[in-house]
Chains A and B, each alone.
Chain A
Amino acid sequence: MMQAELLTRRQLKSAYVTVEKQTVRWKEIHQNSDQYVNSLCNLSEQLDSCERVPEKTTFLKDFPDLKIRLRAKLLGEMEKMAGKLRETLCSLQEVSNSISRQYAASMHTYQTHAGELGIHKVVQRSATEPSVADMLEWLGDIDRAVRELYLQKQFLLDTLKYDDTRQMQSLHRRWTQDSNLDTMIMGMSYHIIL
């Protein structure tokens, strides 16, 4: 095996090791964030119920500012939860960035040796190893998929409205919508013997 090919393959291998680790980390962070989303949903339901209580008829009439206070408290709590989700988002961004870096580094390594390698070497596959082209392709796909997921979550947080009950209720479903990332990365990793 040529020096150039060896270097590229070694870089790719280390990139995949990092990607695997980062995927595990992504999952952990994500599972961790579940509780925040759940309590955010819960709080929004409370807020909604609080809004709907008729003021004049119930016991609330004895405590005129109770509703306002309750509302302020609930909103404060929601802010806190959203803050936690923002922290989660930052960690997710780190994961995404780290995968991006791996992809960029692998592309860079390939491109510096591209002249030496030539196309035919790059597309050669063997029974035990995929070709360099395939591995770069998968790495690129993973990078894009992870960034897209991250962007979705960022968009969700950016457009969050505390008093929009319907949006809040669907938040949980939309937040956890990344199962296909898992299968995709797993499927690709199977091809590679690390």
Chain B
Amino acid sequence: MSSNLMVVQSDPRDAGSQRCRLGPELMTKLSLNMGDHVKLSLARSELLCKAWPRQDLAEGMLQADHFVYRDVNNRYVSEKFIEESCVEKLAVGKLLKADVAVVVAGGLKNAVVKDKSLLEMYIGQKLLNVAVFRNCTVSYADRSSIDNIAYVLVRDVECAECKLDAGYVTKKTEFNVVEVIRLEQYNQRQQSSNISLGALQRQAAVLKEAVSLPLMYPQTFDKLCINRPMGILLLGPPGVGKTSLVKTVAAECHAHLVALNGPDVFGPHPGESEENLRRVFQEAVTISEEGPCVLFIDELDALCPKRGGSGKSQENRMVAQMLTLMDGQAGRGRLVVVAATNRPNAIDPALRRPGRFDKEVHVGVPNQQEREEILRVVSRDMSLAEDVDLNRLAEMTPGYTGADLTAVCHLAAYSLLSRAQTQDKIPTQISMEALRKALAEIRPSALRGFDGTTEVSPVDWSAIGGLEDVKVKLQQAVVWPLLHTEAFSRLGLPRPKGVLLYGPPGCCKTTLVRAAAGACHATFLAVSGAQVYSPFLGESEKTISQVFQRARAAAPTIIFLDEIDSLVRKRGEGVQSGVQERVLSTLLNEMDGIGVEISRSGGLTKVAEGSSCTDQVEKKAVPVTNNNVLVVAATNRPDMLDSALLRPGRVDRTIYVPPPDLTARAEILHVHSRKMPLSQDVDIQELAHRTNLYSGADLENLCREAAMQALQQEGLDTGVVKHTHFMAALQDTAPSLNEEELQHYQTLFSK
């Protein structure tokens, strides 16, 4: 006889009978009589049932009525087959007293639900002869009944034999209704118990206060005449967890969450959308009369765009309706309206005033510490290998939001699975290497799909020959402020805002910056002139300021402006279209940091210098590392730049990148001829001697030319490049620099 029982769905005829159908043999084995109470421990729940023989008398099956149960999570019990030991006989006494909560569908309006004593009597009759135990749920959910009671939650029981936790209801049982809950709210509580937040405590506290204060001090609220709904606007880039923040807070405060998705409201007929909006608001107001309620409007920008455009009459009406509703809900202190958006400037400004949305809470891109917390939460249920260092991972992921980090962890887990297909052994732990690979594939969403920047692949310092002192200077100017922030703040040293690299063309200024970007784990945004300039008026300035916004969101960041002389020139010189001047002034403004506070959250609004903003105090708590933006520019025409740009405070350091000297030239030649089959007689030192005034690019060209000479003279199947070929190439190429020019560069900033 097998010891496993197959769990079968219960017979609909048994619903509400609390019967558990077993085979007669098993009943004999367990010495059970008909109607004896048994406790079943299944994978998802513990059931309290009455043993009853199956009608077809078959063995090996278990068919229990899911009527009185307690939710548990038993990982070690399989869902389909259970052992016989999971069926336990349970002695049940008479129930004297029980504290219950009642879950009601469809409104709490009717007389029975309103009147507590009536409800208690009614529950007593409804549950007659049902056996219950502590913390169990009695479910009437699958049977539609006239009284709309969906669940009875038993909180506490008191039985005649005081040792027992379970008892059956008799006519003398006293019921005490602790709480009446709406069905929707109950369902939300069941679902939302498993969301958890990493970081975001500060924002959660603001929300929690708004939701729970009116509930905790109702009299004080009445005395203080607070009778408006509270409006909170959540701002922040996509993926930082605005939606899950609201959901978690609502669940924690036991508030009812009415979700309103912006696009869901729109209907095809005129007037329908407003109607929908009114209906949802009305629903929320009704619920808020019974308990705390959060009305959550996701993607507010879709619902309430700016008014005034032609041909947007529907949106205009929608906004008007929204304004009226936000104003009109007087006397409802318990309703909290929370809206979330990632484009705060697309919202109609009339909504963003006290009285409608009183508070604006910024949810920014997480900093390193917050990223570590998020990673900890995300990877909580994953099995990580021992070499995984979440701290290090958080360091490597500037600009990544919560959603990105989740995606990284998931991708790493998936890559394990796909590797398992090719190998026999299935790895069970996520290694650091898998996470690194996933990191390379997922770019931070703050930088995704964005004009004005180009991708730059970082290079290693060793790929650059010579220029040792320039490297050191660059490390001091770029890498140190980003990596050793605390050291800088300890000495009261302000971080440099800008670094200018200048020097003759072809001396690897661009490569140097790429190496610097690779050395510090900073986001690297390269701005190219081609993408900045646009035929539309005002577009170029907007692009520049957007680059800076993104950079601040994803701080620490290096913004690299290559060939800055082509991007912005001296003002008031020659015939100019004026675009360049405007771009220059935007650039100057952005570098000075005007409008930093607001736009960090992804908005476009600038706050003028000196104007105060209520949220600024709050922001002081944010670690300073968050607005860590360094502008690195490179040019070979430093004399063409506007002097306003070059003053300290904007570009603090100017670094001259000289043409390569003798040893540097030799190194560069080594680097470039590494892949060539050189013959024995090639003398790199001599070549270095003879290539005075050659730039790095010239030297690269020389190597190429020499190889071409070899092909030309020796035929296409030659295997070596000889010294003579180099000499011939030297004849053909001329240095691109001259002494005069170098003098000019050297004297430029040395006064």
Contact = CB atoms under 8 A, between A and B. Distances in A.
Interface in B1-58: 13, 16-17, 19, 24, 27-28, 32-35, 52-53, 55, 57
Interface string A118-151: 1110110000000001101100110010011001
Nearest to B28: A119
B734 interface: no
Given A114-B34, A155-B112, A140 B17 contact: yes
Nearest to B128: A147
B118 interface: yes
B145 interface: yes
A11 to B, nearest CB: 14
Contact of B110 (A151, A159, A174): A159
B617 interface: no
Contacts of A152: 145-147
A111 B27 CA distance: 15
Nearest to A158: B112
B122 A155 contact: yes
Contact of A123 (B24, B122, B128): B24
Nearest to A153: B146
Contact of B16 (A136, A144, A161): A144
Contacts of B746: none
A3 B53 CA distance: 22
B490 interface: no
A107 B147 CA distance: 29
A110 interface: yes
Contacts of A133: 34, 52-53
User: Which of A119, A134, A156, A158 is the most central at the interface, judged by chain B CB atoms within 10 Å of its CB?
Assistant: A119
A154 B147 CA distance: 10
Given A120-B24, A134-B55, A110 B34 contact: yes
A151 B118 contact: no
Given A119-B28, A152-B146, A114 B33 contact: yes
Nearest to B27: A119
Contact of B112 (A110, A140, A159): A159
B294 to A, nearest CB: 30
Contacts of A155: 112, 122, 146-147
A120 B146 contact: no
B112 A119 contact: no
A137 B35 contact: no
B27, B33, B34, B53 pick with most chain A CB within 10 angstroms: B34
B17 A144 contact: yes
Contact of A118 (B28, B57, B112): B28
A123 B57 contact: yes
A120 B28 contact: yes
Nearest to A107: B35
B122 A151 contact: yes
Interface string B89-131: 0000000000000000000001110000010001001101000
Nearest to B109: A159
Contacts of B146: 152, 155-156, 174
A115 B33 CA distance: 8
B28 A151 contact: no
Chain A interface mostly: helix
A119 B53 contact: yes
Nearest to A161: B111
Interface in B123-177: 125-126, 128, 145-147
A148 B111 CA distance: 19
Contact of B33 (A111, A134, A158, A174): A111
Chain A: interface size category? 20 to 34
B413 to A, nearest CB: 49
Contacts of A122: 34, 53
A65 B52 CA distance: 66
A186 to B, nearest CB: 16
Contacts of A159: 110-112
A119 B29 CA distance: 10
Nearest to A141: B17
Nearest to A143: B129
Contacts of B13: 141
Contacts of B55: 134
Nearest to A150: B125
Given A119-B27, A159-B111, A137 B147 contact: no
B140 to A, nearest CB: 10
Contacts of B111: 158-159, 161
Interface string A60-96: 0000000000000000000000000000000000000
A161 B34 CA distance: 45
A133 B55 CA distance: 9
A134 B118 CA distance: 36
Contacts of A134: 55
A12 to B, nearest CB: 13
B62 to A, nearest CB: 16
B465 to A, nearest CB: 90
B309 to A, nearest CB: 45
A4 B55 CA distance: 22
Contacts of A107: 35
A111 B122 CA distance: 29
Interface string A161-188: 1000000000000100000000000000
A116 B387 CA distance: 67
B29 to A, nearest CB: 10
Contact of B35 (A111, A151, A154, A156): A111
Contacts of A148: 145
B148 to A, nearest CB: 9
A67 to B, nearest CB: 27
A102 to B, nearest CB: 14
Contacts of B128: 147
Contacts of A144: 16-17
A118 B28 CA distance: 8
A119 B54 CA distance: 11
Given A144-B17, A147-B128, A155-B147, A123 B110 contact: no
Contacts of B125: 147, 151, 154
B54 to A, nearest CB: 9
Nearest to B115: A158
A107 B17 CA distance: 14
Nearest to A147: B128
A6 to B, nearest CB: 18
Contacts of A111: 33, 35
Contacts of A140: 17
A7 to B, nearest CB: 16
A19 B415 CA distance: 68
A9 B237 CA distance: 75
A151 B123 CA distance: 10
B378 to A, nearest CB: 49
A158 B28 contact: no
A109 B12 CA distance: 28
Given A122-B53, A152-B145, A158 B35 contact: no
Contacts of A156: 146
B24 A119 contact: yes
A126 to B, nearest CB: 14
B462 to A, nearest CB: 84
A82 B16 CA distance: 31
Contacts of B16: 144
A18 to B, nearest CB: 18
Interface string B270-308: 000000000000000000000000000000000000000
B141 to A, nearest CB: 16
A115 B31 CA distance: 9
A156 B122 CA distance: 12
Given A136-B35, A156-B146, A158-B122, 10 more contacts: A110-B35, A119-B28, A122-B34, A133-B34, A137-B52, A144-B16, A152-B146, A155-B112, A155-B122, A159-B112
Q: Across chains A and B, which 9 residue pairs bring their CB atoms closest together, nearest first?
A: A114-B33, A119-B24, A159-B110, A159-B111, A155-B147, A152-B146, A123-B53, A119-B27, A119-B28
13 contacts: A110-B34, A110-B35, A114-B33, A118-B28, A122-B53, A123-B53, A123-B57, A133-B34, A141-B13, A148-B145, A151-B125, A156-B146, A159-B110
